[in-house]
Every structure is written in structure tokens, then in C-alpha cells.
Structure 1
Amino acid sequence: MDGGPGGQHSGPMETFESLVRAEFTPKTTYLNTASTGLLPARTVTAMHTAVEAAAVGRPTDMFTDVEESRASYARLTGVPVDRVAAGASVAVYSGLIAAALPEGAEVLTAEGDFSSVVNPFHVRSGLKVRTVALERVAEAVRPGTALVAVSAAQSADGRIADLPAIREAARVHGARTYVDASQAVGWLDFDADAYDYTAAVAFKWLFCPRGVTFLTVPGDLGGLSPVFAGWVAGEEPWDSCYGPVEELARSARRFDESPALFSYAGARRSLALLEEIGVAAVREHDLSLAERFRAGLGALGHAPVPAPGSPIVSVPGLGHRQSALSGVGIEVSDRAGNLRAAFHLYNTPADVDRLLDALSG
């Protein structure tokens, strides 16, 4: 990538830092990406443009934004674009998968996983949901397990599932896999092609607006029935507006929800920025900050929940500090009494040190 005076080639770190400085201008020490990511300047501009154009009766082509977002997400997760559905909610896609399971099917889940991942399987009547500790998911797959549903990284504390072991156990026992990558895509080296189904909201580590979620399915569409299909799920959407849809999309687009168009107008730019910077560079940056924080916690006598290789750090017993920290401009989360900090591309070592200084008082 060209950059700097005279268009000279800039180094990877210089490119990373210049892009981040140009796109993100936090006014706080924002360490809460596991809740909501910050929006890049280009995304805010695109959404302003789309809203203002709609206000004067000249709307931009936001359906093209949906397709560009879908294509970008496909590249980021290593699947063909025709295997990506665009929607708004992980819970909806979990429900779609739950609805496709046969009566009496066993679903294996992780203890304490995010509700949007697991609850649709509990409310679908006729399923047998079995829950085990995250560390035991792979060994708990057994003959008769129909589906393993798990988050790649736990929302509460950042622990990373042993996805290769889970995938292999599922293969051995003939189970399908469903991975929620909401807390992973954007920093983890995540290959959606390795699993039957994956879903992810984009308003966290993909720093998109709320209202953007993606589902990936196998090439044969994974036996899913498009139970909520509307006109956008048609092979020719604009010919599918009235009456029953004559032909559903032959791709994963048959699982599209009617899109939140203004959100996708922004998402297109956010995902393009991530592709420009590169997930590998983001991961290296995020994990170095998390390790700096873990080391500093040790010096203060605090032990975080073990979550090696994760940019999410959860500290037992410090959740009550969240409100006071917010009062001095340090944004973190309180999760079940734990203080949760999440480090992303717009954070710096100074942010880490400020949080540590605050916790030492």
C-alpha cells in the first residue's frame, strides 16, 4: 500500500497506525469492544450520506452495500460468497438451525455461553439440550449428538473454545457444528469453511453498526429450511414482492433477513477497512495489549480468568469498579462480578497503563 510523502511505500506498522489514527478518534479510554465496537470515520460518513440522501428523496443504492458487505465478510472468513446470508441477529439464525433439527435431536452446548447461541435450542420443543463446561465440549460429543453449538470465544471472559478438537469430535460422531464467532471474527484467524454453520454479529470486533449479522452455511445449504423467507430471499428479489416467492435464492441468500439498509451502508466501509489493515495485524496488536494488561494485573496481585490468546480479559472480583472507572473516562464492563476489558485496534499501550493505574488506586 502506498503512503507517506511522495507516495512512498510505508511499512506495515506505519500503515496500521496511520489508518487507525485517521479512522478512530475515541474521547475516552474505550476498552469495551466485547460489548460494542467503535465506528470508523468512513463508516459514519457513509451512514450520514445515506440518511441525508434518503431525506431528500434520492436514496443511495444500499442494496449494493449489502452485497459488498456480504462479499467482504466471505473473504474475511474464507468461504465462497454464495454461502453467506445477511441478517440482523444471531438469535434468529440460531432459531433457524434449531427449527431444522429432527424431533429428539441432541444439541451439545457450553455452560454459560451467550444466550443468543443457546436459548433457541432450549425453547424449540422436542430437542435434548446437553450442557457441559467449555473445556469438556469436545470430549462430550457422543454417538447420537446431532449438533454442537458453541461460541468461538466466550463473551463473559474471553475463553477460546478448542475448535479443532470440537470439529474432529463432531466428524467422528457424525454431528454438525455451529459456531458463533461474534467475539472472534475481526481478530481471530477464523476459517468458517471448517464448520457446518457459523454466525456473527458485526457490531463488535468488525466495528460495524448494529443491525448487521452474517450466517455461513455448507455448500448444500445444510438442510436448513428458509422458514422466515421474504421477498429478499427470492432468486430475483424484485420479482418476488407479491404472493409466494416463486423461486428461492439458490444460494445462502435464501436465509437473508430484510436488511437494515443504513447499517449495511456503514458496514460495507467498516469491513473494507478491516480487509485493508488485515486481520493478522489486528490480532498481533490486540493480543499484545491484552498480554500487557495481564502482566500488569499480576504485578497488582490480581489473577484474570485464564484465556490465553484472547484480547478479552476478565478479572474476578473487580466488576464493582466499572461505574467508577466509567466516571473517569475508562470504559469496561461488569460481567457477573468480573471486570471485563477488551482490547482492539484503536487501543494503545497508554490505554492499558491508564486502566492499570486506576486499578492500583
Structure 2
Amino acid sequence: METFESLVRSEFAPKNTFLNTASNGLLPARTVAALHEAALLRAEGRPLTSLYADVEAARAGYARLAGVPVERVAAGASVAAHTGVIAASLPAGAEVLTAEDDFTSVLNPFHVRGDLKVRSVPLERIAESVRPGTALVAVSAAQSADGRIADLPALREAARDHGARTYVDFSQAAGWLPLDADAYDYSAAVCFKWLLGPHGAAFLVVPEDFGGLTPVLAGWVAGERPWDSCYGPVAELARSARRFDLTHALFTYAGLRRSLELLEELGLDAVRAHDLALADRFRAGLASLGHEPVPAPGSAIVSVPGLGVRQPRLSEAGIEVSDRAGNLRASFHLYNTPADVDRLLDALSD
């Protein structure tokens, strides 16, 4: 039986020090192979029918990761599109509570409605800011800019106390932070970050009764019998969350299926322990250099104020991190090692 380290080594061989999973994750070797095989079907004119099975396998894999029945998972292309469906369901004048400077895909569809009351508060105050009349609370589980983790249990309780629905974006958390999607009305995640998939796939989890959502983006794949729903209005929408599906990026899902299988083989607990140990090593090293990161305990993302300007030179040296609003953002995942952390610390000490 392969160990965690040997399995990771067999799947990843980065040519640099890649500490930028918060932007996009590396693709496992098995995923690259699946993408190549899928592309060959098109290149050689063979049927693509088998790729639809990959969509369903990826949907089932995400459902297991999220802890919900597969019937509650919709397959789409972006968090913004999923947020748009939720925004479209709200009545005019409804109040949406959000965190200040959260990622745009979680926020903008509510703003462009033009007839909703969107209220933003600091992340640390979002639970206490739920009030009577709040219709929906929308927040990222982990902030893209700096890795801060929302107090989701407190938020959930506050929303229940005031009759508000909850919408959580797990894009920067799915793959290292337990999801427990069943605890929230709606949740979404893109799959090209910690889930190690190609670009072009995102999942939406909805309640069993669909939570009042209307499938305003539904096309033929949202039909109960998709291949009988290609012409004219869809006669019968899918009886599951598949009614919220968007036309599938087939190559992407062919690869994503293998990425999710790898994460299951490794085990989320092991991945989480690995990622957080590296993040803590980086925080400790920063302290020894006299730098103080944005407080984000228990996060795999570490953001250091004032050091974002170092990003271009670090990239030239083969160390990939991000510059976010002047902060240097490093993010750690299963293919990273203590040596990667130490290399970044050595570069920052110069």
C-alpha cells in the first residue's frame, strides 16, 4: 500500500516551488492523462458518450466530500453563475448580508440585481450582524485575499435564529477544510484550486426541496431526460439538483473525476494535517524574520502585509506566490514540502 508521500510523489513533479494553490492547484498525473485521452476522442472523431459518465462520477465524488446525497449536487462552470441563480430567487428589497471585500463571485450577482439591499460588514462581525429581516447571508468559508476562516457554526446559528438562509462559498476551503455542506442552505465551490481539477467546473449544493431556487440558466442537460430535451422548452426538469446543471465542460470533468479520486485515496484528514503543518511552519518562520501575517489560525493560506511587492522577484527565482492588495499570499497543499517553506523563508530573509 502506498504511503501519503509516495502517492503524492507519483502524481506531482513541479518544476518550481509552487506555493500558490489559492490561485490554482497543480494537476495530478492521472488527471493530465485523462485530459489527453478525452481530447483524443475529439481529435479522432470518436463518440464522447463515455465522458458523461465522468460528469456523474465527479458529481458523486464531490457529494461524498461535501457530506450530502448526490441528488443535491448541481454541476456547473463557475461560482458566479451559481450565485446568480441564488440572487435571481430573492424578492425585490430582500437584504443580503455579506463580508467586506469577499471574493467578487460571491457578491456581485447580488449587487447587479439593483433592487436588493446588500449590506457588508467585517468578516469577524458577520454572525452578530444577522438581524430580523435578513433574507440571506453569503460568505466564503476561507477568504481568498488572506485565508481568514469564517465562524460558520456561529453564522449558521444566527441565521437560524433570524430565519435567514445561508450561502457558503467553499472554493478556498474544499480539499483541506471539512465542508459539512448539509449545515447550510446553499454552498458552492470551484474545482481548480484545492480540488486539483482543471478550470471550468464548479458545484452547487441545494436543499432537497431546492430552497426556492428557479433554474433560470437551465438548458437541455437540466432535463429529467436530457437527450429528449434538446428541442423546444424542457418538458420535465430533472427531479434532482441536476435541474441547475449548466452544459458540461466534458474534458474538464474527465480530468476532475481523477483528481477527486486522488483526494479520496489520500484522505481529507491527512491532507488537512499536511497543509496546516506547512502553513504553521511558515508562520513560525515569519515571526523569526520579524514579519506578522494576517491572523488566520487554522488556515492553509498565509497572507503577509507589505510583502506583495516581492512577488515578481520571487517568481523569477522559481517561487510562485501571489500579490493580493499589497500582501504576499502563500498557500500550501499536499504537493508542498517543508523544504518549499524553507526556500520561501530564505528568499524573504534576503
Instruction: Tell me the TM-score range normalised by the shorter chain.
Output: over 0.9
**SS of 1:147 mapped into structure 2:** strand
Partner residue, 1:38 = 26
Amino acid at match of 2:229: S
Where does 1:124-163 land on structure 2 (aligned, <5 Å)? 124-163=113-152
Mapped to 2, the partners of 1:310 and 1:256 lie a distance apart of 31
Q: Which whole-Å deviations, capped at 9, do the CAs of 1:175-233 have from their partners, x for residues lacking one?
A: 00000000001000110000000000000000000001000000101110000110000
1:284 shift after superposition: 0.1
Q: Which whole-Å deviations, capped at 9, do the CAs of 1:260-285 have from their partners, x for residues lacking one?
A: 11000000000010011111100000
Mapped to 2, the partners of 1:170 and 1:59 lie a distance apart of 48
Q: Does 1:353 align with 2:330?
A: no
Contact 1:50/1:59 (8 A) holds in 2:
no
Mapped to 2, the partners of 1:49 and 1:126 lie a distance apart of 47
1:125 shift after superposition: 2.3
**SS of 1:140 mapped into structure 2:** coil
Mapped to 1, the partners of 2:210 and 2:67 lie a distance apart of 16
| 2:55 paired residue among 66, 81, 86 | 66
Contact 1:90/1:201 (8 A) holds in 2:
yes
| 2:235 paired residue among 235, 238, 246 | 246
Amino acid at match of 2:46: R
| 1:218 paired residue among 207, 212, 224 | 207
Aligned residues: 349
1:324 shift after superposition: 0.1
Mapped to 1, the partners of 2:306 and 2:290 lie a distance apart of 12
**SS of 1:139 mapped into structure 2:** coil
Amino acid at match of 1:232: V
Partner residue, 1:202 = 191
Amino acid at match of 2:132: P
Partner residue, 1:228 = 217
1:53 shift after superposition: 1.9
Mapped to 1, the partners of 2:207 and 2:190 lie a distance apart of 19
Q: Would you identify which runs of 4 or more consecutive aligned residues in structure 1 move more than 6 Å?
A: none
Amino acid at match of 2:169: D
Contact 1:114/1:154 (8 A) holds in 2:
yes
Contact 1:66/1:261 (8 A) holds in 2:
yes
Mapped to 2, the partners of 1:201 and 1:247 lie a distance apart of 28
Mapped to 2, the partners of 1:196 and 1:147 lie a distance apart of 10
TM-score of the aligned structures, taking structure 2 as reference length: 0.99
RMSD: 0.6
TM-score of the aligned structures, taking structure 1 as reference length: 0.96
Amino acid at match of 1:52: L
Mapped to 2, the partners of 1:96 and 1:340 lie a distance apart of 31
- Gaps of at least 5 residues in structure 1 are 4-14
Partner residue, 2:166 = 177
1:293 shift after superposition: 0.2
